[in-house]
Amino acid sequence: MLCQYYGEMASIMASAQDKIRRARAARGLSQNELAVRAGISRQALGAIEAGQYQPGVSVALALARELGETVEALFGAQSPEQIDAALPRETSVAGGTRVALARVGGKVVAVPTAPVRHHLTAADGIVSRVSGRHASVASYVSAAEIDATLLVAGCDPAVALLADWVARRHAPVRIVALARGSIGALEALLGGRAHVAGVHLRDTRSGEYNTGPVRRALGNRRTTIVRFASWELGLATAAGNPLGIRGFADLARPRLRIVNRERGAGARIALDDALAALKLKPAAIAGYEREAGGHLEVALAIAAGQGDVGVTLRVAAEAYGLGFVPIREERYDLAVPEGEMSSAPVRAMLEAVNSSRFASEVAGLCGYDTREMGAVAARL
Does residue 276 sit within a domain?
yes
Beta bridge partners of 328: 233
359 is a domain residue: yes
Evaluate whether residue 242 is within a structural domain. Answer: yes
Name the least confident of 2-6, 162-166, 209-213: 2-6
Strand partners, 234: 312, 326
In a domain, 14, yes or no: yes
Residue 118 lies in a domain: no
Average pLDDT over residues 287-304: 92
Judgement on whether residues 213 and 299 belong to the same structural domain of the protein: yes
Q: 124 lies in a domain?
A: no
What per-residue confidence (pLDDT) applies to 257? 94
Segments forming the whole domain that contains residue 108: 80-113
Domain count across the chain: 3
Q: What is the mean pLDDT of residues 23-51?
A: 84
pLDDT of residue 179: 84
Q: Both 140 and 236 in a single domain?
A: yes
Examine residue 223 and state whether it is found in any structural domain, yes or no. Answer: yes
Q: List the CATH number of the domain containing 26.
A: 1.10.260.40
> pTM, whole model, 2 decimals?
0.74
**Is a pLDDT exceeding 80 seen at residue 58?**
no
**How high does pLDDT run on average in the chain?**
84
Least confident of 170-179, 234-243, 245-254: 170-179
Asked whether residue 205 falls in the same domain as residue 278, the answer is yes
In 10 A of CB 164, how many CB atoms? 15
7 shares a domain with 94: no
Examine the domain organization and report whether 138 and 275 are in the same domain. yes
Supply the pLDDT for residue 7: 36
Report yes or no: 230 and 202 within 8 Å, Cβ to Cβ: no
Same domain, residue pair 192 and 315 = yes
Instruction: Identify whether residues 95 and 153 lie together within a single domain.
Output: no
Amino acid at position 12, single letter: I
Q: Is the pLDDT of residue 233 over 70?
A: yes
Q: What is the C-alpha separation between 249 and 237, in angstroms, rounded?
A: 14
Q: CA nearest 90: which of 109, 68, 115?
A: 109
Q: Indicate if 138 and 103 belong to the same structural domain.
A: no
pLDDT in tens, 65-109: 888 877 767 776 555 667 777 876 666 777 767 776 767 667 777
One domain, residues 157 and 276: yes
Residue 366 has pLDDT above 70, yes or no: yes
Q: Is 326 within the bounds of a domain?
A: yes
**What average pLDDT does range 347-373 have in this prediction?**
89
Using a pLDDT cut of 90, give the percent of the chain over it: 42
Domain boundary among 46, 75, 104: 75
For residues 140 and 176, state if they share a domain.
Answer: yes
Residue 19 has pLDDT above 70, yes or no: yes
Confidence (pLDDT) at 171: 85
Give the pLDDT of residue 3: 36
What pLDDT, on a 0 to 100 scale, did the predictor assign at position 1? 34
Beta strand residue intervals within the chain, DSSP E: 99-104, 107-112, 125-131, 134-139, 149-154, 174-179, 196-199, 223-237, 258-261, 291-292, 309-313, 323-337, 376-379
Predicted confidence at residue 8, as pLDDT, reads 38
Question: Angle at Cα 83 formed by Cα 82 and Cα 89, nearest 5°?
Answer: 125
Give the C-alpha separation, 330 to 81, whole Å: 30
Task: Return the minimum-mean-pLDDT range out of 32-41, 214-223, 322-331.
Answer: 32-41
Task: For residue 182, give Cα distances in angstroms to 17, 161, 214.
Answer: 38, 19, 10
- pLDDT of 5: 32
Q: Is 87 exposed, middle or buried (0-12, 13-18, 19+ CB in 10 A)?
A: middle
pLDDT range class, residue 137, cuts 50, 70, 90: confident
Are 270 and 288 part of one and the same domain?
yes
Q: What's the pLDDT tens digit per position in 200-225? A: 998 888 888 999 999 999 988 999 99
Q: Region 323-335: what's the mean pLDDT?
A: 95
pLDDT for residue 45:
85
Residues 109, 56 share a domain: no
Give pLDDT, residue 54.
66
